Amino acid sequence: MNIPDDLRYSAEHEWVRADGANAVVGISDFAQDSLGDVVFVQLPDVGTMVEAGASCAEVESTKSVSDIYSPLTGRVVEVNHALDTTPELINQDPYGEGWIFKLELADPADVANLLDAAAYQAVIDA
């Protein structure tokens, strides 16, 4: 299972790549593997304010439909429209081309409250 050290994670299996007041969000390798083949992604609307822990997107796979929860509070500033036609990017490259949305963070300091790679590994192993 791939868990990059340079990212932060939520217990709900989202990852965050923070850069100052902005962050890219996607689902972890563990999450995409658990879902199976992703066939559809409902992206959040650009401009939407999202709260940490609140559902803001949805991923449909051959096994189930799963909510995506925002790991941080902020405003959606960009979504990955490549997923509209190629949702399997989440399976193929969950930490790269399979990102889901970008946030302008309400408080960049909140990133420190997310799990590091070792703590996220412990969540998976539990």
- Give the model confidence (pLDDT) of 19-30 as tens digits: 999 999 999 999
- Give the model confidence (pLDDT) of 97-125 as tens digits: 999 999 999 999 999 999 999 999 999 99
Q: Which of 59, 13, 58, 15 is nearest to 37 (CA)?
A: 59
Q: What is the pLDDT of residue 108?
A: 96
Average pLDDT over residues 81-102: 98
The CATH number of 8-119 is 2.40.50.100
Q: What is the pLDDT of residue 1?
A: 83
**pTM to 2 decimal places:** 0.95
Q: What is the mean pLDDT of the chain?
A: 97
pLDDT higher than threshold 90 for residue 4: yes
Task: Indicate the pLDDT class of residue 68, thresholds 50, 70 and 90.
Answer: very high
Q: Which residues pair with 25 in a beta bridge?
A: 16, 101
- Give percent of the chain with pLDDT exceeding 70: 100
Q: Where are the domains of the chain?
A: 8-119
- Give the model confidence (pLDDT) of 29-47 as tens digits: 999 999 999 999 999 999 9
Task: Indicate the pLDDT class of residue 10, thresholds 50, 70 and 90.
Answer: very high
Strand 22-27 relative to strand 14-19, pairing: antiparallel
pLDDT higher than threshold 90 for residue 126: no
